Structure 1
Amino acid sequence: MIISTMNDLPGYTVEEVVGEVFGLTVRSRNVGSQIGASLKSLVGGELKGMTKMLGEGRDHATERLIENAEARGANAILAFRFDTSELGTTWTEICAYGTAVRVRKV
């Protein structure tokens, strides 16, 4: 699967636009990381546990995005983006999205 943040793909022709595709995941922070994050916020610095959780969530959302696009017959995703939002006080939604297309190399 070719994934690009651009709206076109140099060296390829878009033969068909399949449509919007999404990959979603919701992550819950554990109590330990919540406490650690609260303490770390007092002195500043990177929240390594949170960074790791966000990275894993983005990977999982991207995997789901690819599965969605492949199920619809696409071989590429254009205009690839991420969006995140907080759900409640301990949940984070991560959404990977883009436009599924069928491309042909020129």
Structure 2
Amino acid sequence: MQIVTTNDIPGYVVEEVFGEVFGLTVRSRNIGSNIGAGLKSLVGGELKGITKMLHDSRQEALARLGEEAIAKGANAVLAFRFQTNEYEGMGAEICAYGSAVRVRPA
């Protein structure tokens, strides 16, 4: 499965477009991360617990995007993007999205 941010893949031809696909996850922060983030905000610096949560969440959303594309018969996703939103002050919603397509070498 090729997943790219571009609208095409050099050396490949799009044979079929299956439409938009999504991978979504919503994650809450644990109490330790919230306390650590509150203390860290006093002195500044990276919020490592939250950074890890967002990294893991993006990986999960990306995997779900790939699964949905495969289920539609695609072998690639074009115009891939992430969107991240805060979820009611308790966590984060991460959405991976793009266009599912079948490509072949040119």
- The alignment's TM-score, normalised by the length of structure 1, stands at 0.98
Counterpart for residue 67 of structure 1: 67
Q: Distance in 2 between matches of 1:46 and 1:91?
A: 17
Q: Does 1:102 align with 2:102?
A: yes
Other structure's SS at 1:89 match: coil
Other structure's SS at 1:73 match: coil
- Deviation string, structure 1 residues 30-80 (Cα, Å, up to 9, x no partner): 111001001100100000111100000000000000000000000000001
| Runs of 4 or more above 3 Å deviation | none
- The alignment's TM-score, normalised by the length of structure 2, stands at 0.98
Q: Distance in 2 between matches of 1:33 and 1:74?
A: 38
Counterpart for residue 35 of structure 2: 35
Q: Distance in 2 between matches of 1:104 and 1:52?
A: 36
One-letter identity of the residue aligned with 1:17: V
Aligned residues: 106
Unpaired segments ≥5 residues, structure 2: none
Unpaired segments ≥5 residues, structure 1: none
